[in-house]
Structure formats: structure tokens, C-alpha cells
Amino acid sequence: MANSVTVYSTPTCTWCHAVKDHLRTNQIAFTEVDVSVDMAKAREMVAKSGQYGVPVLDIDGEIVVGFDRARINALLGIA
């Protein structure tokens, strides 16, 4: 079963680019949400994570704040 992955990010965030590159490299499909232009999604991100900073990932309902490679890999089964 494919994972449901949402990446809340902004275009100018270096760590956001890094996490998306990591997901692409490992062939993980994800939905990208630009919270700099979508205020409803920005509020959703804060409600889920308690954080205003990006990136925030929602992996099958598990929230990951920042580019926590070890946690992301564990949740997605990346070796």
C-alpha cells in the first residue's frame, strides 16, 4: 500500500527542497502544499503540528517537523 505523504513547504525554504528531493530520490509520491499562498492549508499545518516553521510532513497521519531523515525513513520504510 502506498503511503499518504503531504509536505507543507514554501518556495524559499532550503530544508523543504532537501526533503522533497529526498522523497523523489526514493520514489515516494507526495502532495506538496505551499503554505506561503494557501492560508487555509497553513492553518491546517499549524493545527496538526503546533509549528509555524516548514517543512512539516504528514506521513499517514504521523507529523514530522523539519527534515528528520531517520524518522521519515522509518515511517516510509526507506533503508
According to DSSP, the residues that pair with 62 across neighbouring strands are 59
Q: Where are the domains of the chain?
A: 5-9+12-51+61-76
Say what the pTM is.
0.94
Question: pLDDT tens digits, residue range 13-53?
Answer: 999 999 999 999 999 999 999 999 999 999 999 999 999 99
Determine the Cα–Cα distance for residues 61 and 76; give it in Å rounded to an integer: 12
- For residues 30-40, b (16+ Cβ closer than 10 Å) or e, as one string? beebebeeeee
**Tens-digit pLDDT profile for residues 50-75:** 999 999 999 999 999 999 999 999 99
Task: Please report the pLDDT score of residue 79 as a whole number.
Answer: 87
